[in-house]
Amino acid sequence: MTKSRIAAVDVGNDALKANFGKMENEVYIPNVVAQDMEDRPVIGIEELDDKSVLDNIHIRVHSPALEENNVVYRVGNLATKTNNSTELDPGSNKSEEDQTLVMLFASIALDAVESGAFKAGKNDVVDANYTLGTGLPLREVKEGKDVGYRSQLLGSVHQIEFLVTPKHQGKKVNIKFDEVKVYPEGFAAYVNLIMDNDLNVINKELIDKQILIQDIGGLSTDIAVIRNRNVDDDKAQGFNLGVSESLEQIREEIRTKHGVELDSRRDVVDIITRNNDRHHIMVKGSRTNVHDITDHILLELAKKEYRFLRNVWAKNSQSEICYFVGGGSAVLKDYIKALNNKLDGYNIEFFEDENESIWMMANAYYKLVTDFVRKTEKENVKEEATTTAKAK
């Protein structure tokens, strides 16, 4: 039997982040897809195999879990170069979108062909078994959508065929999930706060505190209330508001005012968060400040996010601290801090390392699914020992 490989995948609204195996392989792919033709032209001086794999993911996806089956996609950076690329829309459910599954399958197929964990069989077909840890927004878990999402993934074979992709053209990967664990995102963030990769407690002072975790994503905001080391399901709240709409608004205003077309929301995030030339773009070869555009749009969004915090804290007055996590928090950090200093002065905390905040969910899923695998292996050893003893 093929050994199952661990996959911890956070299909974020901005980008997919994933850890594989023993964390020796991590994958980051912008969450953008575009339907495409099978034989796309390759433009450029370099040969196909000299190009970056992550910049040229071109696949056919066959899975009974998809509404549109057997479709060819450009994924990630390659998709941003087309006129028909799609990003998840505000109000959509992550668990019900084909795009979520296409991103998930693409990342796992990439790991399967690049990690060396699985050997290719006849006709360059790789059979890959994975134990998956992933998550959904609290709102979707509270609505029970995690059950359907999990069942879509289990019990079927999902095939990814690499088409015009460097180094992997012609390869097919058959993905089978031995187990799928779907975690609520707020609880995952809590696990990441209190445990290291070996599941040792690192922040003992947080264990018995009542804390809030505000996870600002692309399409939604979740505020988890952690009490007695668990998410309080009745108090936890999810809101259909994230940074995506504001990023689109910034993109549109830049296009209208400066005539510059940005490829995707990812480009807007880069303009807002990069260390050098922040809030600047190039217009006809000249460095141009767009802070007037980004500032008023992000401030309005920060005010809405702060209102969420204020309302939830009012209903959970004994909370001691709120941690802001997620890619949206990295974008809005300065604005929320300024509002808090001016208004209520809550005890709030951001992660100064933006990378840590962005990777928090993927790292948490890795810890949780690794713990599940360890416990399952221990139970299997016990059962085998008991069976052997009875046989004697």
CA dihedral sign of residues 73, 79, 85, 90: positive
DSSP 149: H
DSSP 49: G
CA–CA gap between residue 184 and residue 65 (Å, rounded): 21
The whole-number pLDDT of residue 217 equals 84
The whole-number pLDDT of residue 45 equals 58
Write down the residue that tokens 């990630």 correspond to: 76
DSSP letter string over 171-185? -EEEEEEEEEEEEEH
Burial 50-74 (b: 16+ CB within 10 A, else e): ebeebebbbbbbbbebbeeeebbbb
Residues 132/146, Cβ–Cβ less than 8 Å: no
The whole-number pLDDT of residue 257 equals 93
Digit-coded pLDDT (tens) for 35-88: 998 888 777 656 888 889 999 999 999 999 999 999 999 999 999 888 888 877
Burial 223-238 (b: 16+ CB within 10 A, else e): bbbbbeeebeeebbbb
SS3 content of the chain, % helix, strand, coil (to 5): 40, 25, 35
Q: What are the helix (H) ranges across the chain?
A: 98-114, 138-142, 145-153, 185-194, 204-207, 244-258, 265-273, 291-315, 327-342, 354-391
Residue 40 lies in a domain: yes
Residue 17 lies in a domain: yes
Q: Shortest CA distance to 149 belongs to which of 177, 169, 172? A: 177
Which residues of the chain are modeled with pLDDT < 70?
Answer: 1-2, 44-46, 90-91, 352, 391-392
Q: How many domains does the chain have?
A: 1
The whole-number pLDDT of residue 178 equals 96
The whole-number pLDDT of residue 2 equals 62
Residue span of the structural domain in which 155 resides: 5-184+359-381
The whole-number pLDDT of residue 121 equals 85
The whole-number pLDDT of residue 171 equals 94
Residue 66 lies in a domain: yes
The whole-number pLDDT of residue 198 equals 77
Q: Is 179 exposed, middle or buried (0-12, 13-18, 19+ CB in 10 A)?
A: middle
Residue 209 lies in a domain: no
Residues 7/18, Cβ–Cβ less than 8 Å: yes
CA–CA gap between residue 181 and residue 133 (Å, rounded): 5
Residue 332 lies in a domain: no
Q: Count CB atoms within 10 A of the CB of residue 296.
A: 12
Provide the phi-psi class of 160: left if phi over 0, else alpha when psi is between -120 and 50, else beta: beta
Residue 14 lies in a domain: yes
DSSP 120: B
CA 154 from centroid of its chain's CA atoms: 20
The whole-number pLDDT of residue 44 equals 67
Residues in the chain: 392
The whole-number pLDDT of residue 337 equals 96
Q: Looking at residue 160, which CATH number applies to its domain?
A: 3.30.420.40
Q: SS3 of 217, please?
A: coil
Residues 127/176, Cβ–Cβ less than 8 Å: yes
Give the relative orientation of helices 244-258 and 265-273 as an angle to the nearest 10 degrees: 90
User: What predicted TM-score, i.e. pTM, was given to this entire model?
Assistant: 0.86
116 to 24, 255, 289: CA distances (angstroms) = 12, 44, 46
Digit-coded pLDDT (tens) for 199-256: 788 877 778 889 999 988 888 888 989 887 777 878 878 888 889 899 999 999 999 9
The whole-number pLDDT of residue 247 equals 92
CA–CA gap between residue 351 and residue 346 (Å, rounded): 16
Residue 293 lies in a domain: no
The whole-number pLDDT of residue 204 equals 78
17 DSSP β-pair partners: 10, 28
Residue 278 lies in a domain: no
